[in-house]
Chain A
Amino acid sequence: MEQATATGTFPIERVRAQFPLLEREVNGVPVAYLDSGASSERVLASIEAVADYERRHHSNVHRGSHTLSAEATAAYEGARDIVARHIGAGDRREVIFVRNATEALNLVARAWGDANVGAGDRIVITEMEHHSNLVPWQQLAERVGAEIDWAPVDERGLLDLDALRGLLERGPKLLAVAHVSNVLGTENPLAAISAMAHEAGAIVVADGAQAAPKLPLDVAALGVDFYAITGHKLYAPTGIGALWGKLDLLRAMPPFLGGGSMIRKVSREGTTYADVPARFEAGTPAIAQAIGMGAALEWLDDELGMEAVRNHERAIADYTLARLAEVPGLTVFGPPRGPERLGPVSFEIDGIHAHDVSEILDRHGVAVRAGHHCAQVLMERLGIAATARASFGVYTTPAEIDRLVDGLEDARRVFGL
């Protein structure tokens, strides 16, 4: 059955049937999982791909010449091909498997940053960055004596591009920018931002953790230099993510971690390193998780298509903003309904702290996140300590948003508002 209301002709029932967890009840009712921005639920194709590797093919990659190792290697490297295709990488060697987006960004900060950023150099970070694309740059700045400039967010929750242009005129080495904000749901105009940064001589390190589950991606068209994604927000397992980087930049970077797999030749005198991506994948990788990530992306790309996924995300964000506007005393943080507005939708209600909002919603089986969302610089900019946040996945329905609104009405009742 297709759903023709808020989300067009998206095959929502067919999609939901692929997520076993959605059968789960919480507090006596089916869970309305509105926390996919923290971690999305797992698609059956990915769960089964992991189980198949564990049951039938488990062995190490790039090691033995035996059949199982060859199968494991083919599946692991096949996952790399799928990730490359999903993000529009021109060359599969540009995809490095890591634990998560945080590790991807730390890898860039350590390997590229330590080699290219020095005392007195400038780094631009936007105020809407998740701590994962913020703390590594602060650490880099402390290590080498670089200076940080903060690109401001305006009153609507959009990046102030004029102010950013002004900061770029100071000649920073790099710009750290989220593709989609994990708090505001803003889609930043990454291609235009990259062009501005490159004109100023800065490289662009983009955090795609929130964008990759929602948008068709083409890293070449976006013009960025590095792009970080994480599997567990893409219907795949935890413990796996990917860093995409331009081949020439990656090849010029020294290794981040040393160990097995990343070497060409080791002797007592020293070691020469393997080419990318192996140079950055020291030790036995998260083989099962990479295979699970590949299967999830293949499902997204082949069964749904990312254009349809984007349209669904926009429709749900739009519907949520419309419904939340009906709740008295509720303030939404982030841009109004419009083309650059995706999920998540963060909000606060006068007189009820976000923790209490989420506690009461949980009684209704509605799962949202409450807190600072690992974006304390942005929270300070907004002048708040915490928000409640509803975030969406391919399985989110308008009926679940209705349950969110009903739960908020109950929270107001409990607090005597």
Chain B
Amino acid sequence: MDELYRDQILEHYKRPHNFGVVEDADLEYEDTNPFCGDEQHVTIKLDADDRVTEVAFEGKGCAISTASTSLLTDELVGKTREELLRLPKEYVLELLGIDISATRMKCAMLGLKIVKSAALGQPAEWEDEGEAGNPAEAATL
């Protein structure tokens, strides 16, 4: 079996979950991967306690960026806005469950970067795909 393009990744690429737009979203952000022009738009609805009740994304991208945002958005309902901001990149890497090379890291992290920017209401700081977030929290958030 292909390590990178395993069935789960291709399945999420071909039929991404949570694909679309949330009506009357409380949070929204759109960004591109400047190296390839891929773009994603994330919309999020929150309840009174600032917890995610609905999330959706749309856009164009490769198998890795599409699958990672599909997988990520599957996990966001119930999290608080503050928890979104604390998500480390390892959180996404564990969802993907595959080795991501340096050249594809920007693809894998596009969705997380946009979710964080949406939660922040402005572009999230993002150094080297590393960005804020404690790797140790990947399993608990």
Contacts and interface: CB of A to CB of B under 8 A. Distances in A.
A385 interface: yes
Given A371-B37, A386-B36, A416 B64 contact: no
Contact of B36 (A354, A360, A414): A354
Interface stretch (B2-10, B71-79, B125-133): B2-10
A359 B104 contact: yes
Nearest to A369: B36
Given A414-B5, A415-B10, A385 B38 contact: yes
Given A353-B63, A354-B62, A415 B36 contact: no
A403 interface: no
A241 B62 CA distance: 34
B37 A355 contact: no
Contact of B37 (A376, A414, A415, A416): A376
A80 interface: no
Contact of A355 (B2, B10, B14, B64): B64
Nearest to B60: A385
A385 B39 contact: yes
**Of B14, B37, B60, B63, which is in contact with the most chain A CB atoms at under 10 Å from its CB?**
B37
Interface residues of B, number: 18
Nearest to A376: B37
Given A414-B2, A415-B10, A416-B10, A353 B35 contact: no
Interface in B27-63: 35-39, 60-63
Interface string A351-372: 1111110011000000000111
A351 B5 CA distance: 13
A355 B5 contact: no
A372 B37 contact: yes
B114 interface: no
12 contacts: A351-B14, A353-B61, A353-B62, A353-B66, A354-B36, A355-B107, A360-B5, A372-B37, A376-B37, A386-B38, A414-B5, A416-B10
Interface of B: 2, 4-5, 10, 14, 35-39, 60-64, 66, 104, 107
